[in-house]
Structure 1
Amino acid sequence: MSRLRTAIAERRRTRARLREDRAFERLLARAPTVESAHELRAISTRR
């Protein structure tokens, strides 16, 4: 049962990370300028 819970938790973390990545890509696409998109990308590399 422990392995099952671990697998489920890992899958949840993976899906959450993918959701965050997609949301960030949408944010970049809506950036008003290229410079602001570069700033957002620089901030994201620090996480």
Structure 2
Amino acid sequence: MSLRTSFAEHRRARARRREERAFERSLARAPTVESAHELRSLSTRR
């Protein structure tokens, strides 16, 4: 594996983790259990 490929994979993994953390924060801030459930169901469609 080349160094460039390795860096690209690392960037993609970091971006995925950043998106997951942002999603978890939005779930934690959901005003109701129903809205949190709706967010979760929408995320499975991505």
Range into which the TM-score falls when normalised by the shorter chain: over 0.9
- Unaligned ranges ≥5, structure 2: none
Q: Which consecutive segments of 4 or more residues in structure 1 shift more than 2 A?
A: none
How many residues are aligned here?
Answer: 46
**RMSD across aligned positions (CA):** 1.0
Matched, 1:3 2:11: no
1:7-47 CA distances to partner (integer Å, 9 max, x unpaired)? Answer: 00000000000000000000000000000000000000111
- What TM-score, normalized to structure 1? 0.93
> Quick one: which amino acid aligns to residue 13 of structure 1?
R
- What TM-score, normalized to structure 2? 0.95
> Quick one: which amino acid aligns to residue 29 of structure 1?
A
- Unaligned ranges ≥5, structure 1: none
Q: Which residue of 2 aligns with 1:19?
A: 18
